[in-house]
Chains A and B, each alone.
Chain A
């Protein structure tokens, strides 16, 4: 009984112990903050990576791609009932020109809305944010309203910036906002023109219907013909300015020159729907040879999308699958003798697979991936053209390879994981300081308390009991320290963005540059397990620190303790 009583009483009255408490608290807080933020980034990146490519990815083993993909998907769903959905994708590289801006881009040919069942493509889009049926053909009214809303945003940012005092105003930002405003206004004007022309067509169509409804003797076929011609003319112009769905493009939000971020984290777009974009790419569907000539096509920007992975968003554009298949010459090849007979099937470069919810865990996913690979082997045996490569030398058949999303993104995720490990180890080493602090402080406390030890022994306390008093004291110190540290760290992480705002207001420096990172906010989640582990770690560290002083206290001869001056 006396042990607990004494260690608690010492904790309350020995102010030196509070130094140890503070040391432990600071270390725990530091590690909690670092681990939480890294974990936050990691889970964001993982979430983004998984959202990007689905659960399992089947990559073509050669530049020629994967044939018979639709047939394979049907086969795969039979073989592996864990598979929920799958969609073919084409990847290639090219040049994107918008206005005066040219970017090298990765072009991603996707089927919408089919791909939505596999990836989280619809997240964070400009026009179709959170829509169920994201497509290359969203309603025009929505395009206009979103564009107008964006103009309001630009205006409000300009207003905010220009109302700042002279020395704080960012003239460069104001210039950029001005240019963005002009661009977006022009694109809105274009969209409205399109809308008006559509209405024109509607009106003429109604006139035709009215004319056709007249009795034959009063009907003027000439008028109908003229009106029809008018429609054709307007439609032609419409197609040129605002291309049909197969010629539309979704930009990655992060392509340089298309948008920028304000220091406060707002994304300002210069390129919004309605803008024209030209893609130039080398069709590699028939293999690589010097006879390849680049194909060029003009698209209308219809939306922009964001995966949260800067490396993706800064260089990716999305176009309809079919369109890209044609541009890359990955469409079906017809036999030379009989132009109606397909000699080589149409191809894609990747198949993305989503599994049913119960199989989404890492370990289950690996099992499913193995199944997919088995299915690939069997399917390749039955249909060699699935994996056929158009090499100039020989026809080689290498089955494509399936990888889980984690395997596929290991490169990116691995970097962050490694960084996290390094930083955690670093802070762990720093935390050794707290062990040393506890050791030094308790060594002092034990020295100060030698006479008390003698008294406790004189009234019948055992050597073990004396040791336990100090072990308990140390554990209580660590417990209190980690409780304070965890509470402090928790509130720090939860409010990290506010704290960062506050710091930037006071010191004028942004630690977290929102123009650089693609995440609007610093991750502010704290895992309960992290807290638990840290508390356990702190207590173990505290016990290690107090162990030697406690042993020393226990070993002390009572007589000598009593004689100690």
Chain B
């Protein structure tokens, strides 16, 4: 494991809104080692989500170099990007983003289903299901497998989202204000969970605007004026 988990240098990103050019990232450089739990703190609108989307290959930077687990993002085909997003990256969002038509177990299994073709899935189904149930048990959702997201509390939904992010055993977990929509007590529980996963070796990059929550992280960076400090 000599390689770094990710290596970004001089990332720029700007949005055009009519005539105004909104320069959100202005030369972001960041390296994350395997097993780290990095917290990026920034005010609302400072470009945290934008950065996380670039790190998770959901978006592209305008300028700069980004290497994820040895892959140069600029040189990846869209097929490869999809594949890496599926297998190596897990996302957690502020608003959970669970699929309302699916129950808890089905939501958690979606990334596993995306990972396999129909035929491949037949061989994997049972294993994926056991893994999903195991994960959900660890997250204290044993009795909620058949519930729809609408029937769960915010904390429970976020735990389902964590299970979904982890089902494919990603190399890196990207969390976008995972507690932003929760009360502080529940938020702390979620942070504790992330910490336990990090203790077990899971690399995590989390962005938040809440100084206190960042305490769980092994490294804290500030995003200000489009740069990391």
Binding site for B on A (CB under 8 A): 1-2, 4-6, 9-10, 12-14, 451-452, 454-463, 465, 557-559, 562-563
Contacts and interface: CB of A to CB of B under 8 A. Distances in A.
A559 B101 contact: no
Contact of B114 (A10, A13, A459, A562): A459
Given A1-B117, A1-B121, A460-B114, A455 B79 contact: no
Nearest to B103: A9
Given A1-B113, A2-B113, 13 more contacts: A2-B110, A4-B118, A5-B106, A5-B113, A12-B101, A455-B97, A459-B114, A460-B82, A460-B84, A460-B87, A557-B59, A558-B58, A562-B53
23 contacts: A1-B113, A1-B117, A1-B118, A1-B120, A2-B113, A2-B114, A5-B113, A6-B99, A12-B101, A455-B110, A457-B58, A458-B56, A459-B85, A459-B86, A459-B91, A460-B84, A460-B85, A460-B111, A460-B115, A462-B78, A462-B82, A557-B59, A562-B58
B101 A459 contact: no
A452 B118 contact: no
Interface in B26-54: 49, 53
Interface in B156-186: 164
Contact of B93 (A9, A461, A463, A562): A562
Interface in B164-215: 164
Q: What are the nearest 7 A-B pairs in CB distance?
A: A460-B86, A2-B113, A1-B121, A13-B101, A459-B111, A460-B85, A1-B113
Contacts, number: 74
A460 B113 contact: no
A459 B118 contact: no
Contacts of B110: 2, 455-456, 459
A562 to B, nearest CB: 7
Contacts of B106: 5, 9
A501 to B, nearest CB: 45
B152 interface: no
Contacts of A456: 110, 114
Contacts of A557: 59
Contact of B53 (A10, A455, A461, A559): A559
B101, B102, B164: which has the most chain A beta carbons within 10 Å? B101
Contacts of A9: 101-102, 106
B58, B114, B117: which has the most chain A beta carbons within 10 Å? B114
Contacts of A10: 101
Interface residue tally on B, bucketed by range: 20 to 34
B79, B106, B111, B120: which has the most chain A beta carbons within 10 Å? B111
Interface of B: 49, 53, 56, 58-59, 78-79, 82-87, 91, 93, 97-102, 106, 110-111, 113-118, 120-121, 164
Contacts of B120: 1
Contacts of A454: 97
Contacts of B85: 457-460
Contacts of A559: 53, 58-59
Contact of A455 (B83, B99, B116, B117): B99
Given A559-B53, A562-B97, A460 B117 contact: no
Contacts of B114: 1-2, 456, 459-461, 465
Contacts of B164: 459
A451 B98 CA distance: 9
B145 to A, nearest CB: 16
B163 to A, nearest CB: 12
B101 A14 contact: yes
Nearest to B59: A559
Contacts of B100: 13, 452
Contacts of B101: 9-10, 12-14
A4, A9, A456, A459: which has the most chain B beta carbons within 10 Å? A459
Contacts of A465: 114
Contacts of A455: 97-99, 110
A138 to B, nearest CB: 71
Contacts of A14: 101
A1, A454, A456, A559: which has the most chain B beta carbons within 10 Å? A1
A214 to B, nearest CB: 105
A294 to B, nearest CB: 85
A458 B83 contact: no
A461 B56 contact: no
A559 B115 CA distance: 20
B187 to A, nearest CB: 21
A454 B110 CA distance: 13
Given A459-B110, A460-B82, A559-B58, A451 B116 contact: no
Given A10-B101, A455-B97, A462-B79, A1 B116 contact: yes
A463 B78 CA distance: 9
Contact of A461 (B82, B87, B97): B82
A459 B93 CA distance: 12
A451 B97 contact: yes
Contacts of B58: 457-458, 558-559, 562
Contacts of B115: 460
Nearest to A458: B91
A460 B56 contact: no
A2 B115 CA distance: 9
Nearest to B50: A559
A463 to B, nearest CB: 8
Contacts of A460: 82-87, 111, 114-115
A4 B56 CA distance: 26
B55 to A, nearest CB: 12
A463 B85 CA distance: 13
A472 to B, nearest CB: 12
Nearest to A557: B59
B32 to A, nearest CB: 19
Contacts of A451: 97
B97 to A, nearest CB: 5
Contacts of A1: 113-114, 116-118, 120-121
Contacts of A562: 53, 58, 93, 97
A4 B120 CA distance: 14
B134 to A, nearest CB: 19
Contacts of A4: 118
Contacts of B116: 1
A14 B164 CA distance: 23
